[in-house]
Structure 1
Amino acid sequence: MPKQLLLAISGSISAYKAADLTSQLTKLGYEIHVLMTEAATQFITPLTLQVLSKQPVHVDVMTEKLADRINHIDLAKEADLFILAPASANTIAHLAHGLASNMVTATALALPAETPKLFAPAMNTKMYDNPITQQNMAVLTQQGYREIPPRSALLACGDVGRGALADLSDIIHTIEEILHEQTSRN
């Protein structure tokens, strides 16, 4: 049975890279369930990710297509790993403060403690370096999340600095490393 990964996408210009990440992970044999914030849908359509993952894409926490299923709870229970990529400053802040205002944050809060949780920030350098964002990321780390640090690059806004989404190869390597560690322990 393939490992089930929850790929959560938040509102960042880097959201378009989630299509390639979904495609690569699917080709590696993982079952990908995509969660999106409303802001993420402004950068990439759910349909693109649905076609690539061959799974429904979940955007609205209040939309339950099946009467016997509570999507955010069931997805969280079934997940072998959760990754937020790209992780915007807004979504990081919501998670750090326990706000379950959308499908991504509600599902993340419903994850069992033992489920590996990753986040790959993508934002402007000043937003990333802001002490509030750094504090929010520290809270996530204390709660068991592992950061996949951003790269330094020319950003979409024209600034140069740290804040570009990590290379997809680094994200995939981290996912596989954690799943291998998990399998070795069991």
Structure 2
Amino acid sequence: MARITLAVTGSISAYKAADLTSQLGKLGHSVTVLMTSAATQFITPLTFQALSKNLVHTDVMTEEDPSSIKHIDLAKQTDLFLVAPASAQTIAKLAHGFADNIVTAVALALPATTPKLLAPAMNTNMYLNPATQENLQRLQGYGFVEIPPRNAVLACGDIGTGALATIDIILEKVSETLHETN
């Protein structure tokens, strides 16, 4: 099956990425998890390590193996890059080519042919903000495919578009994307 790199960013929906990791593994995929420092405030790397059976990467500057450059090697070993949940902050960084954390550095190092999926999760006003919408359009031009957020009651109590797509929808898009590229 596929080598999926799952990037988890700073959103309350980060806890749902644990189930996503588990489900991807049950489907036979190898999952490598990258986490922004904000994501680690919502859920621990140990959770993802236990579920993925792989080392979780949280720092672009930590190099476990002096014979390789981690973010470059991770990018080369990725069959599918999935950002779920994708925060407004990470979307903005990806759209403008920042490489200041493990998620953005790996994303920037991906070969152009690597499929890239993005599942936003944030407050409705943040999601609908013209800056976020422009960043999403820019990312589409870079080959990212958005898995749109749901309309729901959000963690802040607001009702609107911004909730992470369901795990089933994300899994369906992963399967569809992998079948398209094989």
- TM-score, normalised with respect to structure 1: 0.97
1:128-158 deviation per Cα after TM superposition (whole angstroms, max 9, x unaligned): 0000000000000011100000000000000
1: CA distance between counterparts of 2:82 and 2:65? 25
Aligned AA (1:88)? S
Q: Distance in 2 between matches of 1:6 and 1:15?
A: 15
Alignment partner, residue 142 of structure 1? 141
Query: Can you give the 5+ residue segments of structure 1 that lack an aligned partner in the other structure?
Result: none
State the TM-score, normalizing by the size of structure 2: 0.99
Q: Cα distance, 1:25 vs. partner?
A: 0.2
Once the two structures are TM-superposed, the CA of residue 7 in structure 1 deviates from its matched residue by 0.1
Query: Is the counterpart of residue 37 in structure 1 residue 36 in structure 2?
Result: yes
CA displacement at 1:3 relative to structure 2: 1.1
Matched to 1:135, the amino acid is E
Q: Distance in 1 between matches of 2:7 and 2:52?
A: 13
C-alpha distance in 1, partners of 2:181/2:94? 24
What is the percent sequence identity of the aligned residues?
Answer: 65
- In the TM superposition, what are the counterparts of 1:94-109 in structure 2 within 5 Å? 94-109=93-108
Q: Does the alignment pair 1:92 with 2:91?
A: yes
Identify unmatched segments of 5+ residues in structure 2.
none
- Aligned partner letter, 1:11: G
Q: How does 1:1-186 map to 2 (within 5 A)?
A: 2-183=1-182
Deviations 1:15-60 (A, max 9, x none): 0001000000001000000000000000000000000000000000
Q: Secondary structure at the match of 2:56?
A: coil
- Following TM superposition, where does structure 1 have runs of at least 4 consecutive aligned residues deviating by more than 3 angstroms? none
Amino acid at match of 1:108: A
> How many angstroms apart in 1 are the aligned matches of 2:67 and 2:175?
32
d(CA) in 2 for partners of 1:131, 1:30: 36
Measure the CA separation in 2 of the matches of 1:142 and 1:160.
30
Q: What is the letter of the counterpart of residue 62 of structure 1?
A: M
Separation (CA, whole Å) in 2 of partners of 1:139 and 1:182: 22
Residues of 1 paired with 2:180 and 2:143: CA distance? 15
Paired AA for residue 73 in structure 1: I
Measured after TM superposition, the shift of residue 125 of structure 1 is 0.1
Task: Count matched residues.
Answer: 182
State the 1:181 CA deviation: 1.1
1:70 CA displacement? 1.1
